[in-house]
Amino acid sequence: MIKKCSPGYNPLVKENLPSHDTLTWCRRHLDEPLERVVPLRVEASNRLFYRLELPTGSVILMCSPPMLENNVQFRQLAIVFRDADVPVPAIIAESRDAGWFLLEDLGATHLEDAYASTEATAALGAAIDMLPRIGSVSSPLIPTYDVARLQMELGIFTEWLVEKMLGLDVEPNGWQPDFERLIAATQEQPQGCTHRDYHCRNLLWRDGRLGIVDFQDALVGPCLYDLASLLRDCYYTFSEAEIDQWLQRFIEQEPRLAGFDSQRIKRWFDLTAIQRQLKAIGIFARLHLRDGKSSHLSHIQPVLARILALLEQYPEFTQLDEQLNHCKSELTRLAATPAWVGLRPAQTALSR
């Protein structure tokens, strides 16, 4: 009999087990009997993940609806990255029609967990040291992270957080000039392959080795993008001294940054981080409003506060600073309402 493990940290998981058909398919592709199914944390996509525990190990089941997720790109980039010696999971088996994948299990310890352990320095160092290798990956299968896409991402922020969540009018002249400065910083820096979601919940640490998941949205884009995702994470806060230290380590290893002034690199890094964080909190608002997922609501206010603190170093962004402070005030008011407060217990459990 298969034991089921209730994901106590995640009350948003509605089903504790995959469907009967899914498990039947899994058994056909496993060399050992299936002992236990453990649902894994729900994040921002339509995919569901389970750890399938076997007598001598485990594998990951990914249920990825073909009509909602780009499974073709996942499959292709898994090969591209593994050929480049980037530690993404091997695909053991796949049902293309159903969107079921059996994947190599890279471990249960996320960097988010490793940061609280004695291995924090080693784990973060490994994640940073991997970035030049990812940046050097070249394939016609990896599209370009162009200006139109960057603008669209900032549009997610204004549409879903500013307009739909906070009910504020968006005056283009109040946002667009500073948005253009943010995008310009991404275009000025050297370009290369970027994972695009390189944060502490997509990076795994087991036996001194790094594992990388959620890589299917990789693009050719700003060379500091993944570092900004990692060091200015939406789920973990480093001190500015730590950020400067790790940024310097990356600069020393990244040949594409040779010859650039350190202050210019730091500005690129910070502005790239701001663009990404604005996109992220827009997505968090959209998850709640459109998809009925409150899982990321509690991250909106702290991430916005970190953006505002960072903007203090860049006085040319006066308009953006003013607009975001207005959003901060409205968020504070909204967060005091019973509907928002009632969502906090579930989210607190999720963020552990």
Residue whose structure tokens are 């790239």? 272
**Token code pair at residue 241:** 């001294």
- If asked whether residues 121 and 13 sit together in one domain, one would say no
**For residue range 159-184, what is the model confidence (pLDDT) as tens digits?**
999 999 999 988 877 899 999 999 99
17 backbone φψ class: left, alpha, beta (φ>0; ψ -120 to 50): beta
Among 80, 104, 128, which residue terminates a domain? 104
Query: What pLDDT was estimated at residue 3?
Result: 38
- Average pLDDT for residues 116-140, to the nearest whole number? 97
In contact, 109 and 126? CB cutoff 8 Å: no
Band the pLDDT of 339: cuts 50, 70, 90. low
The CA radius of gyration of the chain, in Å to the nearest whole number, is 21
- If asked whether residues 282 and 326 sit together in one domain, one would say yes
Residue whose structure tokens are 């249960």? 108
- If asked whether residues 20 and 129 sit together in one domain, one would say no
- If asked whether residues 126 and 95 sit together in one domain, one would say no
Among 104, 122, 144, which residue terminates a domain? 104
Among 51, 84, 104, which residue terminates a domain? 104
Q: What angle do CA 310, 311, 315 make, to 5 degrees?
A: 140
- If asked whether residues 58 and 198 sit together in one domain, one would say no
Mean pLDDT, rounded, of the chain: 90
What is the rounded CA–CA span in Å between residue 46 and residue 68?
7
- If asked whether residues 22 and 93 sit together in one domain, one would say yes
Domain limits for position 216 = 111-350
Query: What pLDDT was estimated at residue 42?
Result: 67
Bridge partners (DSSP) listed for residue 3: 36
Is the model's pTM score more than 0.85?
Answer: yes
- If asked whether residues 57 and 40 sit together in one domain, one would say yes
Query: What pLDDT was estimated at residue 51?
Result: 96
- In terms of Cα–Cα distance, which of 185, 188, 256, 194 is closest to 219? 194
Polymer length in residues for the chain:
352
33, containing H or E segment: none
Range with the lowest mean pLDDT among 94-108, 305-319, 322-336? 322-336
- Average pLDDT for residues 99-121, to the nearest whole number? 96
CATH code: domain of residue 217: 3.90.1200.10
CATH code: domain of residue 91: 3.30.200.20
- If asked whether residues 270 and 306 sit together in one domain, one would say yes
- Average pLDDT for residues 131-146, to the nearest whole number? 97
- If asked whether residues 62 and 130 sit together in one domain, one would say no
Contacts 24+ apart (CB under 8 A), 33-39: 34/2, 35/2, 35/3, 36/2, 36/3, 36/4, 36/5, 37/2, 37/3, 37/4, 37/5, 37/61, 38/5, 38/7, 39/5, 39/6, 39/7, 39/10, 39/13, 39/15
What is the rounded CA–CA span in Å between residue 244 and residue 248?
6
**For residue range 61-87, what is the model confidence (pLDDT) as tens digits?**
999 999 999 999 999 999 999 999 999
Structural domain count, the chain: 2
- If asked whether residues 228 and 304 sit together in one domain, one would say yes
- If asked whether residues 100 and 121 sit together in one domain, one would say no
- If asked whether residues 156 and 66 sit together in one domain, one would say no
Please enumerate in sequence order all residues whose Cβ is within 8 A of that of 256, keeping only pairs 6 or more positions apart, or say none: 135, 190, 192, 223
Residue type, 186: T
**For residue range 211-235, what is the model confidence (pLDDT) as tens digits?**
999 999 999 999 999 999 999 999 9
99 backbone φψ class: left, alpha, beta (φ>0; ψ -120 to 50): left
Burial 304-335 (b: 16+ CB within 10 A, else e): bebbbebbeebeebebbbebbeebeebbeebe
